[in-house]
Amino acid sequence: MPINFRKSLGSIFILVLFAIITLIYYTFVIELYLPQYPSQKGILIGFHLILFMLLWSLFHVTFSEPGRVPPYWGFYMGDSEAKRKRYCLLCHVFKPERCHHCSVCNRCVLNMDHHCPWINNCVGFYNRKLFLLLLFYTLLCAYYVILFMTPTIFSSVKHLLQSSEIRVNLHPHLLYIGVYLFLLLLCFILTNFTKFHVKLVMKNSTTIESLDNTAVTGNYDLKSIRNWLQVFGRNPWLWVVPYYGKSGKPVGDGVMWSHDPFQDVLENDPVESETNREGAISRPPNSLSVVANSPSGRPSISDTSYEYTAEQNVNIGRLIEQHKERRTRSPFVSEIDTETSILHKSRAEISSLTPNTSVLEINMRDKQSA
């Protein structure tokens, strides 16, 4: 099936979803409460408030950016074998950890959870909160309608059972019962579906990873509260609102991931920003990792098994910055060579570096040691 056709097919799912919402609104508001319970304004206000949050979440997650691979990410990877395994031939980018290519959207998505046809979009690092809020408000709206329709359903069933003759006014009763049964089925399915996704968030896992038998269980688990903050952000007031702002964005960048639950890299990253970092080096455990080309202008050094001091981070960052100022027309080749040289230094050598150490001195040491 062509990719464009599969993507356009998602529009049909959205139209069906809006048709269902319209049917529920017509049944609950137009047919039931406005003509029969005009004085129950509080119930109608509550319903419209929940419906507004549902539609807000739906529009936002449908047109949101799930997470794009930063430009030039992967040029800083020193391991050629890792490059070969993580290179996407369709998008022509190096894929970070937990990044997958969506065959429907025809793009790579950071921390991809799955492609949802009902929103015609992927669920990834930057819109996972919106997807969960959509599930929450859909469930809340369904339970709300079921709760306040239950007395009417009992009277409708009683009316149908006691009617010995065919009546022309059976239409509203059949409509109430049909919508009520549909909502019961919807609640049963969505409740289990929502519980599944909440469990994934609390374990810092995704749908794709849960279906992968080769994945290590709990490999990215930072324990409950930090897993939650990674998706919903640090501002509790924005957890229930489909809006990020400056304080409600997911913690992290969707590129660098910690494998150590006792190392809070999400909160202590000195160059963490509100947007994607434009470049990073991904390396296996027990090795240095560099986040380069950050918006703050200073690279950051992290190690999954060794904590470097702030002075060492600044020293190495200055070395890389000094070299970037001297780059010629071949920035990637020269930058990779110098950064790789810095990365392969032992911890003792790194500790001996000072802010005045030049890139030329590093290269001279490499030649002497060779």
Q: Are 61 and 242 in contact (CB under 8 A)?
A: yes
Q: What does the CA dihedral 343, 349, 354, 357 come to, rounded to 10 degrees?
A: -70
Q: From the candidates 105, 116, 122, 141, give the one annotated as an active-site residue.
A: 116
For 80-129, the pLDDT digits (tens) are: 555 556 788 888 888 888 999 999 999 999 999 999 999 999 999 999 99
Same domain, 176 and 314: no
How far is it, in rounded angstroms, from Cα 86 to Cα 257? 15
**Is residue 102, in this structure, part of any structural domain at all?**
yes
Same domain, 198 and 271: no
294 confidence band (pLDDT: 50, 70, 90): very low
Same domain, 270 and 159: no
Same domain, 140 and 277: no
Q: Which residues contact 177 (CB under 8 A, 6 or more apart)?
A: 153, 156, 157, 160
Say whether 62 sits in a helix, a strand or coil. Answer: helix
**Is residue 188, in this structure, part of any structural domain at all?**
yes
Same domain, 15 and 139: yes
Of the three residues 184, 211, 238, the one that is the final residue of a domain is 211
Runs of H (alpha helix) within 203-262: 207-211, 224-232
Same domain, 186 and 321: no
Same domain, 27 and 117: yes
**Is residue 303, in this structure, part of any structural domain at all?**
yes
Q: Are 232 and 225 in contact (CB under 8 A)?
A: no
**Is residue 31, in this structure, part of any structural domain at all?**
yes
Of the three residues 211, 229, 244, the one that is the final residue of a domain is 211
DSSP string, 92-105: TEE--TT-EEETTT
Range of the domain at 108: 3-211
Same domain, 344 and 270: yes
Structural domain count of the chain: 2
- 116 catalytic residue (yes or no): yes
**Is residue 228, in this structure, part of any structural domain at all?**
no
- The number of residues making up the chain comes to 370
pLDDT of residue 289: 38
Q: Which residues contact 157 (CB under 8 A, 6 or more apart)?
A: 177
For 124-178, the pLDDT digits (tens) are: 999 999 999 999 999 999 999 999 999 999 988 887 777 655 555 677 888 999 9
Closest CA to 342 of 320, 325, 360, 321: 320
**Is residue 83, in this structure, part of any structural domain at all?**
yes
Same domain, 158 and 45: yes
* From 30-39, 159-168, 201-210, 283-292, the region with the lowest mean pLDDT: 283-292
Same domain, 41 and 103: yes
Same domain, 153 and 266: no
**Is residue 150, in this structure, part of any structural domain at all?**
yes
**Is residue 236, in this structure, part of any structural domain at all?**
no
Of the three residues 211, 233, 248, the one that is the final residue of a domain is 211
Q: Look at residue 54 and tell me whether its pLDDT is greater than 60.
A: yes
Same domain, 56 and 134: yes
Residue with tokens 């997807």, as numbered in its chain: 131
Going by the DSSP 8-state scheme, the letter that residue 27 receives in this structure is I
The pTM (predicted TM-score) of the whole model is 0.69
